[in-house]
Structure 1
Amino acid sequence: MGDVFLAGVAGVLPPAMSGADAIAAGAWTKRDAAETQQLSVTVAPADQYSPDLAVDAARLALARARLDPARIALALHSMMLTPGGRLWHGAPYIHRQLGVPAGHCIASDLDCGCASSLVALELASAYLGAREQGDLALVTAADCWREHEVDRWRTSNNPLGDGAAAAVVSRESGFARIAGAATSSNPELEPVGRGREPFSAEREKSTGPVYVRSRHEEIVDGELIWQTVAGEVQSVVAKATRQAGIELSEVDFVVCPFLGRELTLQQFLKPLSLDLSITPWEFSRRVGHIGPADPLAGLDHLVNTERVDWRYILLLAHGMGGISSAVVLESTGAAPLPR
């Protein structure tokens, strides 16, 4: 297949609401605040929608890559909520808004939970290997957590933030080479996101906010679940670093899902014997868990805002349904473009 590169990456985030304000309003608890150490989360205004944020992120990533959207042969979009309603998909909307010509591009949604953007990078890399050298792939992810659908402060142990991120994948050149990628799916973890409630007409008709935390609490052996997740993370990291030809100790930065301090340590860092200091922690604790956009938004912050010195960055994700993914990026030395 040859080398595959990230030619551009971008994140787009609305303004933040402080955790202190959420506590004062009775929307969040001091206990969760202490556990997550989250300072704020990004909150989109009511008239701002996730597909439009994804379009903005895609345009910025393409501008940074200095590449024509007409060359996009694959557009993969991920979102947990669909503002267009049922039986609607976001990827064709993004395809249309970017002005990508008809007939050349496959535009499709990808639902691997919060691992979607990394799974998309792996799929895009393989797809481009079968295409013309000049073809591009676009990976986008975005969510806005509306109050009537999800209680951003209480649905899980960690609060949710709004935002989008995008990456342009190329076989020609870029600021980073995809040096290794691995994904694992463990179906025994599927009930974590569904709970034990059976399929039923009543469940289908259910309205009101989703509380993922209550579904988790239905699982009998929660400790075993988290041990299994940790094992899956260890496995995909071992495969991705081996593919990249490096040791984990050679990684300069790690971008984990923005899950707050306790879950980030439990699910990702402790199993890998890593520390918060090599993550964009101070950034993530001001954003909240966007969903599938987390890894790309964190990468954007490191390379385009902080402009850190690095050779290897490890991107990690775990999605409901039992999918774990790891991607190792190697710097090509290409300087990022101005914002």
Structure 2
Amino acid sequence: MGDVFLAGIAGVLPPAVTGAEAIAAGAWTKRDAAETQQLSVTVAPADQYSPDLAVDAARLALERAELDPARVALALHSMMLTPGGKLWHGAPYIHRKLGIPAGQCIASDLDCGCASSLVALELATAYLATRDAGDLALVTAADCWREHEVDRWRTSNNPLGDGAAAAVVSRERGFARIAGAATSSNPELEPIGRGREPFSAEREKSTEPVYVRSRFEEIVDGEQIWRTVAGEVQSVVAKATEQAGIELADIDFVVCPFLGRELTLQQFLKPLSLDLAITPWEYSRRVGHIGPADPLAGLDHLVNTEGVHWRHILLLAHGMGGISSAVVLESCTPQHS
């Protein structure tokens, strides 16, 4: 199918609230703070919504790519919460706000949990092979965790941050080539996000905030679950690096979901024998887990804020439902020491 590139990348984040503030307010615990070593999380004001953050990120990514939104033939959007209510989708909203012409673009939401943006990159790569060379794909992800829906500080072991990220995918040119991509789905991991509670009318009607931690605690063998996740991560990384024609040792930086120190090590770095030092850790511990936007936001920080020197970057994600994904990027920009 030929080469496919990332032509533009952008992240948009609201201001941060410190962990110390959350502990003082009784919203967070000192135990979780010590385990995650999270310093702050980004929190959007009440009148700021995730689809608008996604539009802002998309505009910035397109501007950096110096490409016309009218050329977008595929727009994939991911979000865990839908501020437009049930039976509403964010991708058509982003399509409309960007002024992408009607009739030539498939605009669709994609829900693979926190792996969504990387799965979207893989799907976009395959889709562009069927299109004219000048067509583009746009991948966006965004979430704002509202208190009445999710307790950002306590729902999981790691606190949640608000924000958005976007990537422009092109067959013509870009700052990075998508050198390898692999995704694996293990349905045995599906109960992680659901717990053991059966489907019921009472569950559908519940208006209580979601606590993912309590759902996970219903799983009988949590340690086995984590071993399975680690195996899935190892598998997709092996496939993606093989596809890219490199070894894991050739990776300069790795961007994992922003899960705090303990979970990042447990789920991703220790299974791969990688060090926290090659991740954007100091950035992620000030942002929190945005959701599907994490890998793209972390890449944006490395490339556009820190301006790191790199040849290969590995993007990793694991989503509730058992989907693990890895993408290997190869720099198209000459690197100077």
Task: Give the TM-score normalised by the residue count of structure 1.
Answer: 0.98
Deviation digits for residues 184-243 of structure 1 (CA, Å, limit 9, x no counterpart): 000000000000000000000011200000000000000000000000000000000000
Aligned mates of 2:324, 2:236 — CA distance in 1: 7
Instruction: Say if 1:77 and 1:140, in contact at 8 Å, map to a contact too.
Output: yes
Residue pair 1:190, 1:321 contacting (<8 A) in 2 also: yes
CA RMSD of aligned residues (A): 0.6
Question: In structure 2, what is the Cα distance between the partners aligned to 1:334 and 1:113?
Answer: 35
Aligned to 2:256: 256
Kept in 2: contact 1:174–1:334 (CA 8 A): no
Verify the 8 A CA contact 1:37 1:261 in the aligned structure 2: yes
- Find the counterpart in structure 2 of residue 182 from structure 1: 182
The 3 A distance-change label for structure 1 pair 127 and 334 is farther
C-alpha distance in 2 between matches for 1:312 and 1:192: 32
d(CA) in 1 for partners of 2:334, 2:118: 22
CA distance in 1 between partners of 2:208 and 2:54 (Å): 25
Q: Does 1:74 align with 2:79?
A: no
Percent identity between the aligned chains? Answer: 90
Match of 2:314 in 1: 314
The answer on 1:220 being equivalent to 2:220 is yes
Q: Which amino acid aligns with 1:223?
A: E
Partner of residue 207, structure 1? 207
Identify unmatched segments of 5+ residues in structure 1.
none
Task: Give 1:92 shift.
Answer: 0.1
Instruction: Indicate whether 1:152 and 2:119 are aligned.
Output: no
> In structure 2, what residue type is equivalent to 1:187?
P
Residue number in structure 1 paired with 2:134: 134
Alignment correspondent of 2:19:
19
> Could you tell me whether the CA contact under 8 Å between 1:142 and 1:291 is conserved in 2?
yes
Task: Tell me how far apart the structure 2 counterparts of residues 92 and 204 of structure 1 sit (CA, whole Å).
Answer: 26
Mapped partners of 1:275, 1:33: distance in 2: 21
1:330 match: secondary structure: strand
Counterpart in 1 of 2:59?
Answer: 59
Q: CA deviation at 1:168?
A: 0.1
| Structure 2 Cα separation of the partners of residues 172 and 208 of structure 1 | 48
| 1:282 counterpart residue number | 282
**Aligned positions of 1:87-106 closer than 5 A:** 87-106=87-106
1:235 counterpart residue number: 235
Which stretches of structure 1, 4 residues or more, deviate above 2 A after TM superposition?
Answer: none
Partner of 1:83: 83
- C-alpha distance in 2 between matches for 1:255 and 1:23: 28
Letter of the 2:62 counterpart = L
Q: Does the 8 Å CA contact 1:175/1:334 hold for their aligned counterparts?
A: no
* Structure 2 partner of 1:301: 301
* Number of residue equivalences: 335
Correspondence 1:109-124 to 2 at 5 A: 109-124=109-124
1:35 aligns with 2:35: yes
Which SS does the other structure have where 2:314 is aligned? strand
Contact 1:251–1:313, Cα closer than 8 Å, also in 2:
yes
Deviations 1:145-176 (A, max 9, x none): 00000000000000000000000000000000
Q: Quote the residue 2:168 is aligned against.
A: 168
Runs (5+) with no aligned partner, structure 2: none
For 1:78 and 1:208, locate their aligned partners in 2 and report how far apart those are by CA, in whole Å: 23
Measured after TM superposition, the shift of residue 334 of structure 1 is: 6.3
Q: Helix, strand or coil: the match of 2:172?
A: coil
Task: Output the TM-score relative to the length of structure 2.
Answer: 0.99
C-alpha distance in 2 between matches for 1:127 and 1:317: 21
